[in-house]
Structure 1
Amino acid sequence: MASLIENVMGLLGPMAGPLSTQLGESTDTVQRGLQGGAAAMLSGLASRADEPGFLSQIFGLITNPANTGSSISALMANPSAALSGGSPLTEMSGKLISTIFGSRLTGITDALGQFSGVGASKAGTLLSMAAPLVLGGLGRFVRDNNVSASDLAASLKSEAPKLQGLMPAGLSGLFSGISPAPAAAVDRRTAATTNRWLWPVVILAAVLLAALWFFNRSRAPVSEGMQTASNAGSSAMATLGEFFKARLPDGVELNIPQFGIENRLLSFIQDSSKPVDDTTWFNFDRLRFDTGKATLEASSEEQLKNVAEILKAYPNVHVKIGGYTDNTGNEDANKALSEARAKSVMDSLAGKGIDPSRMEAEGYGDQHPVGDNTTEEGRAKNRRIALRVTQK
């Protein structure tokens, strides 16, 4: 059974190409904007899923007779209809956006523009185009699984953590400011008053834990600095989207996920408007290493084989492979491990037929973090292997 996120994200990839023509942006940029907009809407829904009045409005939009599989198919076949207001879903989509974001819409749009690399006007368009796809994906999820409003609320809340890696930076603060239902607020105040006596115990426990951490941190294994280079591990798998068949110029057919490194790398190589630069990196999302070692696990083979086939199909492309860690543990040891893992990936690609002269590898340790090292989620994002095109 496809998850709620998979139902929504699965609709975005096919729309990116046609919409990129309409907006004059690359497919990768449009796909990133649609993905960020959809993740923001789903996160906004999840943050208010316990509000009965709010959820009933949203569920009414989702189950509206106009929100059918055929109407979504028609929209995807002719995105200009939605851009011009000619789609039956346009009015519903506008109501969805205003109901979720309200006065926060400007902040959401600005964050989405920075996230996707477009201006505020185009970011607003991307958000408007993502809205009917969110409605369509949620409608399909509700119909296929025969879920109620309360079931939908439970699914939104359970899957919300998986959206963080897809979200434009800074949006969590906007969502945290959304007021909860009055009854929930009363419950929290009551609980806080009733359990006030617990605070001294909690503080004492925190002090003891901090002391234990301080005295034992020197014994932490190097592997904590870079565990699996899997970009947040198994939770990232749910955000890769549906797998599809991609045919390369040499006739090789790959089975790849819509939002995985393979599809993003292909889009970049094929897009002549995207120049090679020093900042465009693509994170591997299905690599696994033995703990504390540079030995690749067997589960990494599929993605490495896919990337090797892409490089074979585009023989002029050269790449650089970078290894990264979080800032936990010994800095020198982490840098050495990150470099060993980057070279291990390069060696694996060479073993699959890619000329080593087309590749280079470097370990950066805890340099260039992409997440907040003060949180586990941020540290997991920082433990990664990435690839950059240096010639195409």
Structure 2
Amino acid sequence: MGLLGPQVIGPVASQLGESTDTVQRGLQTGSAAMLAGLVAKIGQPGFLGQVFSLITNPANGPSALSNLTSNLGSLASGATSSPVANLGSQFLSSIFGSNTSSVTDSIGRSVGLSSGKAGSLLAMAAPLVLGVLGQHVRQNNLSAADLGSTLKAEAPSFQRFLPAGLGSLFGGASNLTAAVPAKVATGNRWLWPVVLLVALLLCLFWFFNRTKAPVSDAVQTASTAAANAGTSALGDFFKTKLPDGVELNIPRFGIESKLISFLGDSSKPADTTTWFNFDRLLFDTGKAELQPSSQEQLGNIAAILKAYPNAHVKIGGYTDNTGDAAANVALSSARAKNVMDALVGAGIDSSRLEYKGYGDQYPVGDNATEEGRAQNRRISLLVTQK
């Protein structure tokens, strides 16, 4: 682990307000989680081929890694729609799927970082990890099966960095210790330190440049907010006091911060286009019931509405285009109603609230991709009166 020395970790730790030890462990754990997720799913039908197609995609060609490591500022400044960055997003989705939030939560808890920081680290490091794998495949003329054996051979070197219980999120850890032919394992010690190094370099540039991003632009339309949801961090949690004296602990770039800024700005009237996306509401697939973890954000929104008693809001529910259109409208409507009912249950008068389900209307992402479909599955809030 000599590549992760204090001279490199120090500036990142300073930007985060964390100790160098915490940042180092966060990087180690995040990189280990990506690799462990790959190894644990190698035996699933079609998975290795899917990942190998990302690794060998022309966008992840010979110049991809050098371009990323020499032009990290473009990623940090918001130019995250490049082909290789999109591949990185698909890479993460392929590995973790619906377990992404659970994985980031586990990483954050294990090292003492917020889930937002852990998630941002994974999202920003993924294109570089993908680039390292692509470089190794090309240099060694590996097949998909060869790559699988290589990753299995590396498993013991990164397994020890995994948080307790994280293996269960990957469907078990049995694959992490699978035996591989000796000839494939020989010389494979390249992977782990290089992955750590490139992940650290990316985080270094991203955290440095993140502080330059404007924080005052708190109002976003649904299209802008949803399109950026997969790549933008919620930011550090901070304590803020509402006009009625209630104190909230909220993420800097979450819906709560944006809503407070909007309601407190008399120069910005209520309109029909300024939607705010909830960012910590969870539903089971195909169901309308809110998961218990959603209560924290719902409680915050209720507190904000109590502090601004003249505000009226509309809750909008949206789905992707999977399945029957009429069923999607019904599901989105039921979800929006449950959010509204939760706010009523938290003490908000129902006369200040309304809801509507839009189904797969008004997509903000490409329904042809998993990432786009995830963006389209959302609950949003519109201020109809201030």
Q: TM-score range by the shorter chain?
A: 0.3 to 0.5
Q: Could you tell me the TM-score, scaled by structure 1's length?
A: 0.46
Larger radius of gyration: 1
Q: TM-score, normalised by structure 2?
A: 0.47
